[in-house]
Amino acid sequence: MRAYRVAYDGRPYHGFQRQPDVDTVEGRLRSALVRLGVCERGDGLPERYAAAGRTDAGVSARAQTVAFDAPAWLSPSAFNGELPTDVRVWASTDVTDDFHATHDATERTYTYYLYAPTDADRPGRDPVDDGRWADAVAALAGSHDFHNLTSDDTGTERTVAIDWHRDGPFLVVRVRAGGFCRQLVRRLVSLAAAVADGSAPLSKVDRVLSPDTVAGPDGVPPVSAEPLVLSDVCYPDVTFTPDEDAAADAQAVFARRRANAQTAARVAGHVADGLSGGRD
């Protein structure tokens, strides 16, 4: 068996997991494997195939992991030859026949880039206060039953570590756990952000973490999916070896996408500044 690290821009896709009628990352991986002759046409996947986990529509990844019975010649570079440029395999390693990409992961790390300026550049809302943010994060981290922050009915008790730092107008939030229930990271960020900008009191954290069900206007909606990245999936005693050519290609692909996004931001800023009376 062989395991592969996969990076992708999730914004154009309806999540990672295959679905019958929409474009997904896993669907693109499977189509590539069919064209490469690694799996049959139809609905099948390679023998013993498994992925580290699902990501929601719009969520990106740096270290999504898939593993399956792969031929010796299927290097990351060969895999990439049949993939779209926004999905790149960049590292791989041989694993034991009983390896399972989902069940053998001991920790997953997500990173969220929250646009949270400290000035008053948030019409109708107070500036984000880093002190209030820190208090909310401290209250949310640790072992809790997060039943009010997910639509899952079971498996809601988790131990979560949250690290963060400010990078200009962004709060870069790293959330680590053995596993995550649905939308948990996005709702954690949403609740902390509401406390940080003053739209919710710190006491709301205690209400949300209490055994009572919180619903309606007291519920916590998820923040946008696009700033969320699956940054790492940890497997003890498994070391991935980057494919030098594939990793360089992936780095170049995402550098171009970053440049395109920065250009689009400048254009949007030019239009916005002009509408508000600004000058070039």
Average pLDDT over residues 226-242: 96
Is residue 49 classed as helix, strand or coil in its secondary structure?
coil
Q: How does residue 28 score in pLDDT terms, banded at 50, 70 and 90? A: very high
Token code pair at residue 189: 């960020």
Give start-end residues of each CATH 3.30.70.580 domain in the chain.
Answer: 2-104+236-262
Give start-end residues of each CATH 3.30.70.660 domain in the chain.
Answer: 107-230
Contacts of 164 (CB under 8 A, 6+ apart): 133, 137, 171, 172, 173, 174
At residue 218, the pLDDT reads 82
How many angstroms from the chain centroid is the CA of residue 25? Answer: 13
Q: Which amino acid is at 278?
A: G
Token code pair at residue 265: 């931001």
Residue 161 in this model has a pLDDT that exceeds 60: yes
At residue 144, the pLDDT reads 97
Pairing state of beta strands 228-234 and 60-68? parallel
Q: Where is pLDDT greater, at 135 or 277? A: 135
Residue 21 in this model has a pLDDT that exceeds 60: yes
Give the pLDDT confidence of 41-53 residue by residue, as tens digits.
Answer: 777 788 899 999 9
Half-sphere CA count of 272, side-chain side, radius 13 A: 7
Catalytic residue among 21, 23, 56, 218: 56
Token code pair at residue 83: 């993939």
How many angstroms from the chain centroid is the CA of residue 174? Answer: 10
How many angstroms from the chain centroid is the CA of residue 101? Answer: 17
Fold of the 2-104+236-262 domain: Alpha-Beta Plaits (3.30.70)
Average pLDDT over residues 92-120: 93
CA dihedral 261, 264, 268, 273 (to 10 degrees): 90
Q: How does residue 125 score in pLDDT terms, banded at 50, 70 and 90? A: low
Contacts of 8 (CB under 8 A, 6+ apart): 25, 60, 61, 64, 86, 87, 88
Tell me the C-alpha distance between 278 and 161, whole Å. 42
Q: How does residue 280 score in pLDDT terms, banded at 50, 70 and 90? A: low
Contacts of 227 (CB under 8 A, 6+ apart): 112, 113, 114, 115
Q: Are 1 and 67 a contacting pair, CB within 8 Å?
A: yes
Tell me the C-alpha distance between 186 and 167, whole Å. 19
At residue 118, the pLDDT reads 81
Going from the C-alpha of 44 to that of each of 30, 152, 173, the distances in angstroms are: 9, 28, 37
| Mean pLDDT value across the chain | 93
How many angstroms from the chain centroid is the CA of residue 218? Answer: 26
Q: How does residue 279 score in pLDDT terms, banded at 50, 70 and 90? A: low
Residue 276 in this model has a pLDDT that exceeds 80: no
Active site includes 232? Answer: no
Spell out the alpha helix ranges (H) of 125-218. Answer: 130-140, 184-196, 203-209
Tell me the C-alpha distance between 105 and 5, whole Å. 13
Residue 126 in this model has a pLDDT that exceeds 80: no
Residue 124 in this model has a pLDDT that exceeds 60: no
Residue 165 in this model has a pLDDT that exceeds 90: yes
By residue count, the chain amounts to 280
Residue 246 in this model has a pLDDT that exceeds 90: yes
Beta bridge partners of 77: none
At residue 277, the pLDDT reads 63
CATH 3.40.50.12780 fits 107-230, yes or no: no
Q: How does residue 121 score in pLDDT terms, banded at 50, 70 and 90? A: low
At residue 119, the pLDDT reads 74
Query: Phi-psi category of 155—alpha, beta or left, where left has phi over 0 and alpha has psi -120 to 50?
Result: left
Q: How does residue 196 score in pLDDT terms, banded at 50, 70 and 90? A: very high
Is residue 112 classed as helix, strand or coil in its secondary structure?
strand
At residue 12, the pLDDT reads 94
